[in-house]
Amino acid sequence: MARIAIYDTTLRDGSQGEGINFSLQDKLLLTRKLDDMGIDYIEGGYPLSNPKDFEYFQQVRSLELKHAKIVAFGMTRRKNTHPAEDTCIKALMDANTPVVTIVGKTWDMQVREVIGATLEENLLMIGDSIKYLRDHGRRVFYDAEHFFDGYRHNPEYALQTLKAAEAAGAEVVILCDTNGGTMPETIAERVKLVRQHLSCEVGIHCHNDCDLAVANSLIAVAHGVTQVQGTINGIGERCGNVDLVSVVANLSIKYGYEVLQPSSVKRLTELSRYVYEVANMNFRNGQPYVGASAFAHKGGMHTHAVAKNPVSYEHIDPAQVGNERRILVSELSGQSTILAKTTKYAINQDRALMGKILTQVQDLENEGYEFEAAEASFDLLVKKAAGLYQPWFERMAYRVNIEAMSNNGDPITEATVKVRVGEQVQHTVSEGDGPVNALDAALRKALLPLYPKLASMKLVDYKVRVVNGRDGTAARVRVVIESGDADSVWGTVGVSENIIEASWLALVDSIEYKLFKDSGT
């Protein structure tokens, strides 16, 4: 069947989501991953909007991408300006990407009220901007903002804006349900109609405000759209953009369209979790296709029937999207993930050792560990299992004291640490803003005289989540620490019922990883 182009805007529209804030490094990491997955177009940002997006387009050029085209996003030129003098168009030119997406107004009310232009002027703004970019060698996609609302209010004008874009050389015209309020049958009808008026390709851009973004994207494809825009895990403003994970799975598995690379659909679960980790969001267990619960079976009858014949309660084989069946209570989880992770280690020929590592990782995951964002902790785990580990220091004791005087006063925190390094015992104390800060400070005080290179290491990020062990025991706290030095950044993880202990475990892994790294072992 036909190929549907997947256009990812996680880095731009996705970053508009509440609580989402990608660093430049995050954006580059995600770009590499999206390319690796076979995404066709990666919208990297809005170069005019902030220095980070500008810098992204400078740095992304040095990535050697296999398949994806990087796209810069921007608006039509302002009124009364020549494209060559327009700051946004200039920024798009400077971004120097093969493809540019221009967003323009479709809704007459918006033209008048938001940009204060005449309807005629807006058509010129669309046409001029696209033509200028085309004349300068860019492929241009045109995002028709608010197309469905605009069409409802003034169908004729809405179509005129699309025709202006096509006439100026837009390769694809994308119909945006910007407010996410359109019902599927309306999407279908409008797509059909637009295709009667345009001869260029048509795309769709949906938001999930009515819980219908996936259905709306699929019905648009059924009516001839060839490009779907969205974000991984559906992150984005308000209720989010359409979730490309669900879109890709449905298009490929349910309808047989060609999407991404042949092997990518099997990696959708990996992709989804990677993006959550980079965005510091919790996985959504019930997420269609890729959630940890998506193929989990609870309750005797289902479990029994699934054991007899999986199709009884599974609409697809979970392996088709890289996910796994989980029979709750007695489950085996993470196997494929871990196998995938260990292949990069030379030791993965040793079957007995591999088995040992798998068992350890599964046990730890049942306790609430996740190694997605804690490769350094995973590294240490492998070293320990393989007998390549030597401790750099030994914990003898720590103590954290939280003390509140008087009513409603903020507590004061002090930590002491006692560690042995070889023959030497170091015993130190420090205050801190909070317990982890105090522990970190005391531990550094103890180790710095012996390992002066630790001075170059700093805490980059500290993330805490309350997790429930999959084995139904008490809630635990998972602490993920990101540390860095001049050369690199690494993540470590600790889990315990006690947040202090969980933080300690992650801190110790971080320091040990740094010491191994510097010693070249």
* Touching its own copies, residues 313-372 (CB under 8 A): 313-316, 328
Residue 483 CB, shortest distance to its own copies, in Å, is 18
Q: What is the largest CA-CA distance in the chain?
A: 84
Among 343, 405, 458, 520, binds its own copies (CB under 8 A): 405
Closer by beta carbon to its own copies, 12 or else 138: 12
Per the CB < 8 A criterion, the answer to whether 438 and 403 are in contact is no
Per the CB < 8 A criterion, the answer to whether 52 and 24 are in contact is yes
- Site track 52-71 with its own copies (rule: CB under 8 A), x = hit: --------------------
Chain centroid, CA 104 distance in Å: 27
Q: Which of residues 130-189 bind its own copies (CB under 8 A)?
A: 146, 149, 178-181, 183-185
- Site track 206-235 with its own copies (rule: CB under 8 A), x = hit: --xxxxx-xx--xx--x-----------xx
| CA atoms of 516 and 521, how far apart (whole Å) | 5
Among 101, 287, 428, 510, binds its own copies (CB under 8 A): 287
Indicate whether 87 belongs to the interface with its own copies (CB under 8 A).
Answer: no
| CA atoms of 501 and 485, how far apart (whole Å) | 24
Closer by beta carbon to its own copies, 313 or else 389: 313
Closer by beta carbon to its own copies, 160 or else 182: 182
Among 394, 424, 473, 521, binds its own copies (CB under 8 A): 394
Among 466, 473, 519, 521, binds its own copies (CB under 8 A): 466
Q: Which stretch binds its own copies (CB under 8 A): 78-86, 299-307, 341-349, 377-385?
A: 299-307
Contacts of 117 (CB under 8 A, 6+ apart): 79, 105, 111, 125
Residue 348 CB, shortest distance to its own copies, in Å, is 27
Q: Which stretch binds its own copies (CB under 8 A): 22-30, 86-94, 258-266, 497-505?
A: 497-505
Per the CB < 8 A criterion, the answer to whether 260 and 35 are in contact is no
| Binding residues for its own copies, total number by CB under 8 A | 96
Closest by CA to 496, choosing from 472, 480, 475, 481, is: 475
| CA atoms of 7 and 316, how far apart (whole Å) | 25
Query: Which tokens sit at 509?
Result: 């892994």
Residue 136 CB, shortest distance to its own copies, in Å, is 25
Closer by beta carbon to its own copies, 354 or else 502: 502
Closer by beta carbon to its own copies, 59 or else 293: 293
Query: Which tokens sit at 492?
Result: 């470590």
| CA atoms of 33 and 93, how far apart (whole Å) | 25
Residue 328 CB, shortest distance to its own copies, in Å, is 7
Per the CB < 8 A criterion, the answer to whether 234 and 206 are in contact is no
Closest by CA to 258, choosing from 485, 4, 429, is: 4
Contacts of 416 (CB under 8 A, 6+ apart): 397, 398, 399, 427, 428, 429, 442
Taking the alpha carbons at both ends of the chain, their separation in whole angstroms is 51
- Helix, coil or strand: residue 475: strand
Residue 200 CB, shortest distance to its own copies, in Å, is 27
Q: List beta partners, residue 159.
A: none
Closer by beta carbon to its own copies, 134 or else 445: 445
Query: Which tokens sit at 450?
Result: 């012996």
What is the H or E stretch that residue 140 is in?
strand 139-145
Among 156, 410, 423, 487, binds its own copies (CB under 8 A): 410
Residue 159 CB, shortest distance to its own copies, in Å, is 21
Indicate whether 399 belongs to the interface with its own copies (CB under 8 A).
Answer: yes
Among 65, 119, 305, 347, binds its own copies (CB under 8 A): 305
Per the CB < 8 A criterion, the answer to whether 484 and 457 are in contact is yes
Q: Which of residues 10-49 bind its own copies (CB under 8 A)?
A: 16-19
Closer by beta carbon to its own copies, 295 or else 513: 295
Q: In residues, how long is the chain?
A: 521
Among 61, 192, 254, 356, binds its own copies (CB under 8 A): 254
Per the CB < 8 A criterion, the answer to whether 165 and 174 are in contact is no
Closer by beta carbon to its own copies, 281 or else 353: 281
Among 84, 319, 396, 455, binds its own copies (CB under 8 A): 396
Residue 198 CB, shortest distance to its own copies, in Å, is 25
Closer by beta carbon to its own copies, 199 or else 408: 408
Closest by CA to 353, choosing from 377, 380, 389, 384, is: 384
| CA atoms of 379 and 425, how far apart (whole Å) | 27
Residue 404 CB, shortest distance to its own copies, in Å, is 5
Phi-psi region of 146 (alpha: psi -120 to 50; beta: other; left: phi over 0): left
Residue 341 CB, shortest distance to its own copies, in Å, is 24
Closer by beta carbon to its own copies, 63 or else 114: 114
Q: Which stretch binds its own copies (CB under 8 A): 36-44, 246-254, 347-355, 368-376?
A: 246-254
Among 227, 246, 264, 430, binds its own copies (CB under 8 A): 246
Indicate whether 406 belongs to the interface with its own copies (CB under 8 A).
Answer: yes
| CA atoms of 104 and 392, how far apart (whole Å) | 59
Among 1, 63, 84, 114, binds its own copies (CB under 8 A): 114
What is the H or E stretch that residue 95 is in?
helix 87-95
| CA atoms of 104 and 74, how far apart (whole Å) | 9
Indicate whether 1 belongs to the interface with its own copies (CB under 8 A).
Answer: no
DSSP per residue over 16-47, as a string?
GSTT----HHHHHHHHHHHHHTT-SEEEEE-T
